[in-house]
Structure 1
Amino acid sequence: MRKYEIMYIIRPTVLEDDRKALIEELSNIITSKGGEILAANEWGMKDLAYEIQKHKKGYYVVLSVKSNDEARMEFDRVVRIKEDVIRHIIIRDER
């Protein structure tokens, strides 16, 4: 298993309860496929560097995970489908 850092931005119009459910759902994808979440940081609502889908703000979430390829690819697949996630990135952590 390799270490990854995952960052995703949730649409600012998502209600707090729905946002918490979405964060939980996305975290469960990693753990259900044999991965492990080392750290989860919610940065909160921040201004975007540029407009994304007519939004100027977004709710940032950063995860540090230890994961196999199956869990990483499933997370990537699901997050692309979710309309409430406006941007995401998965970076392999070499540290």
Structure 2
Amino acid sequence: MPLYETVFLVRQDVSGQAVDELVEQYKAVLAEGGGSVGRTENWGLKTLSYRINKNRKAHFALMDIDAPAAAVLEMERQMRLNEDVLRTLTIKVDEHEDGPSVMKQKRDRDDRRRRERGEREDGGGDSFRSDRDRPDRDRPDRDRPDRDREGGRQREMA
């Protein structure tokens, strides 16, 4: 049977447990079609490079598949019908990689570095709490337009 790798993106407001349930659902579809899933990885919630259907973040999941083409097509059809799945990519591979994927290795390495430095999981104290706290919002008064004291409208220069 041919070998495939599938990566799919799930909306940001779906829980991690629901993503795992989706993976199990698609495993069942493949098993029904005579295939099997070797390795599955949940890469977690990641920021997207651009918005997809008004989502800035998405849960990423990987599946290594050993199944006939008809079973993979059925799985992809069901992914397209599910509105929680934003994108999917399935590629045919010669052989599956052993061990964790590159994305999983990178995440583990970043987590290990963060623990060594003693940073918090939420990014530490370097992040700003709101847009008002950002330095680029602190413009001097000379850059702001003149305003009337009563109506709040700009004064007309005569």
Query: SS state of the match for residue 23, structure 2?
Result: helix
Given that residues 27 and 36 in structure 2 are in contact (C-alpha distance below 8 angstroms), is that contact kept between their aligned partners in structure 1? no
Q: Distance in 2 between matches of 1:16 and 1:65?
A: 21
Tell me by how many angstroms 1:16 deviates.
3.8
Identical amino acids, percent of aligned pairs: 27
Give the TM-score, by structure 1 length: 0.92
Q: Distance in 1 between matches of 2:39 and 2:24?
A: 13
Tell me by how many angstroms 1:18 deviates.
2.9
Pair 1:29-2:29 in alignment = yes
Q: Distance in 2 between matches of 1:52 and 1:86?
A: 7
Measured on the aligned residues, the alpha-carbon RMSD in Å equals 1.2
Tell me by how many angstroms 1:59 deviates.
0.3
Write the letter of the residue equivalent to 1:29: V
Higher helix residue share: 2
- Work out which structure has the larger RCO, using CA pairs closer than 8 Å and 6 or more positions apart in sequence: 1
Given that residues 10 and 84 in structure 2 are in contact (C-alpha distance below 8 angstroms), is that contact kept between their aligned partners in structure 1? yes
Tell me by how many angstroms 1:94 deviates.
2.2
Q: Distance in 1 between matches of 2:78 and 2:71?
A: 11
Given that residues 10 and 59 in structure 2 are in contact (C-alpha distance below 8 angstroms), is that contact kept between their aligned partners in structure 1? yes
Alignment of structure 1 residues 10-89 onto 2, 5 Å: 10-89=10-89
Give the TM-score, by structure 2 length: 0.57
Q: Distance in 2 between matches of 1:84 and 1:73?
A: 18
Q: Distance in 2 between matches of 1:56 and 1:12?
A: 8
Tell me by how many angstroms 1:21 deviates.
2.1
Tell me by how many angstroms 1:70 deviates.
1.4
Query: SS state of the match for residue 83, structure 2?
Result: coil
Structure 1 unmatched runs, 5+: none
Partner of 1:4: 4
Higher strand residue share: 1
Write the letter of the residue equivalent to 1:46: K
